[in-house]
Structure 1
């Protein structure tokens, strides 16, 4: 970006940055991507705001990007997924400034998920769920999309990352989400995976599960604050995704100060406390559940759910899973 500041003024203000003397950190937000520092320049108070710059998107920079990284350190690997910390600087004494996720080999579904695309709001009625979405979920599970989850549950991978495990048929385990750098407390993001294989999504929860859900919620929160004592219980929030990325019921545990991006937005995230309350007050016997309500959410126009189900329904065509 070209500066419009007169050269003499630009030279003066540029000379101020090296003179900044730190007093204390004021704030760290955007999951650690932006910091606010209080200090002095020539004995006068000053605030310095620093934010990671946007990535260059021209082809030469993108081509050289993977080879420009240094001190790449793997944080974990499971099936086709692996994640790392890395430097874009040549000084290994500086902390890593990039968190990397690698999906290899990726599928066409991954490519569509991470591509720029328009969004659509849809309402999934109980009828649409039973007739179209449930068979779609079954097809996804039959394709081996849960291998990485089963690897964790069955003790083949990532066991050193498991923070807490509740054994038994209705047990669950807690581990860091692959999108967290595992050090920025304000960006805390953990994952609770249930042992139960009959729960594919929030749709499978019933009134009879309320007591179990409350028990699990309490254990997840207490384990989180026990491991990270700088966080209190009312600084943690729990939610589930619908539609989820994969069809095995799991809970996201994040710091309440984590800035809400698309994954926490209305139309994607459902608060666990709200789900429990909805189940508890739902009419009907213990078999009544979330499969009996309509749920609204947004979809990318390149997603399979939109292309294979909701677009045909909108256009009056037959749905083919």
Structure 2
């Protein structure tokens, strides 16, 4: 970006940065991508805010990006998913220095068309899924997604084949669950902590399958997930944690996200995407009806990308007054 600052002013202020002498770190936010530093320049106090610049998006730079990375260190691998820490190419000139990694990488290989659509830029829509739409179209679509075998990586964890060294807490039995780091967390920055609670049972696919008779189970899980988190990370207190559930979830096997309250809200915490666990428990407790009353009886409003299957095959079709073809799921 071209500067509009007069050259003599630009030269003067640019000279300030190398003269900045650090006093202390004031803050670290955006999951560690931005820092606020207190220091001095020529004995006068100064605050320096540093944020990672945007990626160059031209083809030449993007093509060179993977080969420019150094010190690639795997954090875990499960089925088609693996995740890493790495250093940028700028560290090649100092290979012996102990420089912290400046990239967190997630790799999906081989990926599916669904992955490509999920991570592509696309217009967004807000839809309202009534109980009737859920029963007639969304649930059959979910059944089809599960039949495609996309949950194998979840079952690998639950059945003890992968990532067992990462399990923070486990309860066995039909109503058991386990807690482990989410693959999007660097496992180091506490203010961006992100853990995942996975249930063992396979008959609960999403919030839609929660009924009043599961309230005590949800409350028990909430308490145990909080206890296990603060036990492992004693610098965090329970009231610094948020627990929520996605709808629609990325994968249809019931799970609970546990994050630090300081983790800045993005698309995954947006209204209509993230449902607070406390709110879910309260709503179930006050819901009219018997033990079988639940979220399958309510309308849920959430966002969808226009490239998602649910928009292309269900909600987009319904908007145009067309007939949803379940056989195409």
- Shared fold (TM-score, shorter chain, > 0.5): yes
Using the alignment, how far apart are the partners of 2:35 and 2:171 within structure 1?
Answer: 37
Give a deviation string over 1:26-82, Cα, whole Å, max 9, x none.
Answer: 111101100000011111100010001000001110111111111111111111111
SS in 1 for 2:100: coil
Unaligned runs of 5+ in 2: none
Provide, for residues 95-114 of structure 1, a one-character-per-residue CA deviation record: whole Å limited to 9, x for no partner.
10010111111111111111
Alpha-carbon shift at residue 256 of structure 1 (Å): 0.6
The CA distance in 2 between the partners of 1:6 and 1:311, in whole Å, is 52
Corresponding residue for 1:34? 34
* 1:226 and 2:228 are equivalent in the alignment: no
Q: Secondary structure at the match of 1:32?
A: coil
Distance in structure 2 (CA, Å) of the matches to 1:18 and 1:225: 40
Measure, in 1, the Cα distance between the counterparts of 2:248 and 2:7.
Answer: 53
1:45 aligns with 2:35: no
Answer yes or no: is 1:292 the counterpart of 2:297.
yes
The SS at the match of 1:18 is: helix
Aligned equivalent of 1:99, options 100, 104, 120: 104
**Distance in structure 2 (CA, Å) of the matches to 1:167 and 1:51:** 44
- Residues 274-289 of structure 1 correspond to what in structure 2 (within 5 A)? 274-289=279-294
After TM superposition, list the pairs within 5 Å mapping 1:117-156 onto structure 2: 117-156=122-161
1:317, 1:251 → 2: CA distance?
A: 35
Q: What whole-Å deviation, never above 9, does each CA across 1:210-238 have from its counterpart, x for those lacking one?
A: 00100000000111111111111000000
**2:219 maps to which residue?**
214
Residues 140-219 of structure 1: matches in 2 within 5 Å? 140-219=145-224
Pairwise CA distance, 1:3? 2.3
In structure 1, distance between residues paired with 2:272 and 2:57: 29
What whole-Å deviation, never above 9, does each CA across 1:104-161 have from its counterpart, x for those lacking one? 1111111111111111111111111111111111111111010000000000111111
Q: Structure 2: how far apart are the matches of 1:255 and 1:281?
A: 28
Q: Aligned equivalents of 1:5 and 1:302: distance in 2? A: 42
- Corresponding residue of 2:56: 56
> 2: distance between equivalents of 1:102 and 1:10?
41
What is the CA–CA distance in structure 2 between the aligned matches of 1:154 and 1:113, rounded to whole Å? Answer: 27
Name the CA distance, whole Å, in 2 between partners of 1:288 and 1:156: 36
> Structure 1 unaligned runs (5+)?
none
Superposition pairs of residues 60-75 of structure 1, within 5 angstroms: 60-75=60-75
Q: Which moved more, 1:20-29 or 1:271-280?
A: 20-29
1:82 maps to: 82
Q: Distance in 1 between matches of 2:308 and 2:292?
A: 32
* Deviation of the 1:22 alpha carbon: 1.1
For 2:171 and 2:75, the matched residues in 1 are separated by 24
Once the 2 structures are TM-superposed, how far is the Cα of residue 6 of structure 1 from its aligned partner? Answer: 2.5
* In 2, Cα distance between equivalents of 1:119 and 1:20: 43
Question: RMSD of the TM alignment (CA)?
Answer: 0.9
Query: TM-score w.r.t. structure 2 length?
Result: 0.96
Equivalence map 1:293-308=2 (5 Å):
293-308=298-313
Deviation per residue, 1:176-235 (Å, 9 max, x gap): 111111111111111000011110000000000000100000000111111111111000
